[in-house]
Amino acid sequence: MSRTVIVVIDGFGIGAMPDAGTLRPGDLAADTCGHVLDHCREALGRPLRLPALGALGLGLVHPHPDLARRTSLPLAVGRAALGYPGADTFAGHQTMMGADFSRVTVARLAEHLSDVTAALKSAGHLVEPLDGRPLLVVDGAVLVHDNLEADPGINWNASGRLDDLPFDGILAIARTVRTVAPVARVIAVGGHADGPLAAYVRAGDGGTTGLDTPASGFYRNGGLQVRHLGADIDHDRQLPNLAARSGIPVTLIGKAADILASEAAVRRPAVATADVLAHTLEAVRAGVDGLVVANVQETDLAGHQQDTERYGRILEQTDAGLAALTGLLDRDGDRLIVTGDHGNDPTIGHAYHTREYVPVLMYRAGATGVKLLPDAPSLADVGAMAAASLGLDLG
């Protein structure tokens, strides 16, 4: 057995997939990595400091003048298509871990208001529409609405201010919505807003209506709590459960702790990048063989905020953590896989995810040379690589 660590840099794409313009034609120009590098060089007067990502081969799969093209590390590097419709964190992680997520049900909340209202009322909640618009106010405090940060109809949210009620109350409402929701995710979101949530409701694309979460201040004001309630899929065949059944310890960190299913896993939920990296380093320093899956979420949040400089700062912070991880994974057979789940180009002109290829950068302790991988058709290939390093077969 060995130590295998997957670090998902959320929203870190390296160029548009051929079908990226199907929903938004402008997305064919998406390049999260390249545009962040270009913008930050101009804004900061220097290139981003990403020596670890350079050493891990990012410049080999995304040729950019600010990225190193040479490395002395033993690597296998390439890029992966997403392997699922749209560009979504939940679907991306589930696909990566081995679930068949090729069919995602798309539905606007407006099409299911009666079912959602009935379920919430049966659970004892007070439910009313907000000013005649197709979203619901539950118990006078929580908005149930279309998610405006993913492609239209992929996800619904239950959002509330933690000043008005504890997160457990928001989560309970989200769980009730989940019982009747046909969409990929119902997301419970609690935070501290700049004002009443109704002031930040707007129309989105494709007939959606919801809370403009970035504008509300939830991402800026600290204390953010999020729980992702996914569609019913077969988790038993996914990598975390397969590893656990084989006696391999599993640790899930950051957003991965919220959206991946494994009762046996140690969970370390966190949003702040410093906390995600600290938990990941702690898991590796423990010296126990096993699987660690970590998600760096704040890159994705910066993309949604269209804050390119913040995205660059988080990349630099992540890079320092990757350098430390590489130094710790020193046993023959240890593996570090750095990838993404979709793109989120902060320069593209909207706050949605972008449908991009993602890097697949695998450090192979004890190996030699650099192996260039062909384009993978799906993020499932990333999970299969991790499974192989642990002596498992995802099938």
pLDDT of res. 103:
60
Q: Which of 93-102, 232-241, 356-365 has the highest mean pLDDT?
A: 356-365
Query: Which H, E and C letters describe 238-301, residue by residue?
Result: CHHHHHHHCCCCEEEEEHHHHHCCCCCCEEECCCCHHHHHHHHHHHHHCCCCEEEEEEECHHHH
Q: Rounded to an integer, what distance in angstroms lies between the CA atom of residue 336 and that of residue 283?
A: 13
| pLDDT-above-90 percentage for the chain | 84
Q: What is the pLDDT of residues 278-304, one digit of tens each?
A: 999 999 999 888 999 999 999 999 999
Q: Which of 104, 80, 78 is nearest to 90 (CA)?
A: 104
Q: What is the mean pLDDT of residues 141-146?
A: 98
| Pairing label, strands 3-9, 358-364 | unpaired
**Could you tell me which residues are beta bridge partners of residue 145?**
157
- Average pLDDT over the chain reads 94
176 closest CA partner among 247, 119, 239, 252:
119
Show the 3-state SS of the chain.
Answer: CCEEEEEEECCCCCCECCCCCCCCHHHHHCCHHHHHHHHHHHHHCCCCCCHHHHHCCHHHHCCCCCCCCCCCCCEEEEEECCCCCCCCHHHHHHHHCCCCCCCCCCCCHHHHHHHHHHHHHHCCCCEEEECCEEEEEECCCEEEEECCCCCCCCEEEEEEECCCCCHHHHHHHHHHHHCCCCCCEEEEEEECCCCCHHHHEEECHHHCEEECHHHHCCCCCCCCEEEEEECCCCHHHCHHHHHHHCCCCEEEEEHHHHHCCCCCCEEECCCCHHHHHHHHHHHHHCCCCEEEEEEECHHHHHHHCCCHHHHHHHHHHHHHHHHHHHHHCCCCCCEEEEECCCECCCCCCCCCCECECEEEEEEECCCCCEEECCCECCCHHHHHHHHHHCCCCCC
Task: Give 260-279 pLDDT, tens digit per residue.
Answer: 989 999 999 999 999 999 99
Assess contact for 354 and 344: CB atoms under 8 A. Answer: yes
Report the pLDDT value the prediction gives residue 206, as an integer from 0 to 100.
85
At residue 23, the pLDDT reads 78
The residues facing 372 across adjacent strands are: 77
Cβ atoms 48, 37 nearer than 8 A:
yes
- Which residue has better confidence, 103 or 329? 329
Q: Grade residue 330 by pLDDT with cuts at 50, 70 and 90.
A: very high
Dihedrals phi, psi of 361, to nearest 5 degrees? -120, 105
Tell me the pLDDT tens digit for each residue of 91-118. 899 999 998 776 667 899 999 999 999 9
Measured in whole angstroms, how far is the alpha carbon of residue 33 from the centre of its chain? 16
Q: Report, as an integer, the average pLDDT of 226-252.
A: 89
Q: Is the pLDDT of residue 213 over 80?
A: yes
According to the model, what pLDDT value does residue 268 have? 97
Tokens of 99: 């679930």
pLDDT recorded at residue 36? 98
- CA atoms of 173 and 249, how far apart (whole Å): 33
pTM here? 0.78
Residue 44, pLDDT > 80, answer yes
Q: In whole angstroms, how far apart are CA 281 and each of 116, 286, 296, 297? A: 42, 9, 13, 17
Averaged pLDDT for residues 348-357: 93
Domains, the chain, with CATH or none? 3-102+232-389 (3.40.720.10), 109-230 (no CATH)
pLDDT at residue 98, as a whole number: 92
Of the two residues 368 and 22, the one the predictor is more confident about is 368
Residue 1 has pLDDT above 70, yes or no: no
Here the tokens at position 387 are 């499974």
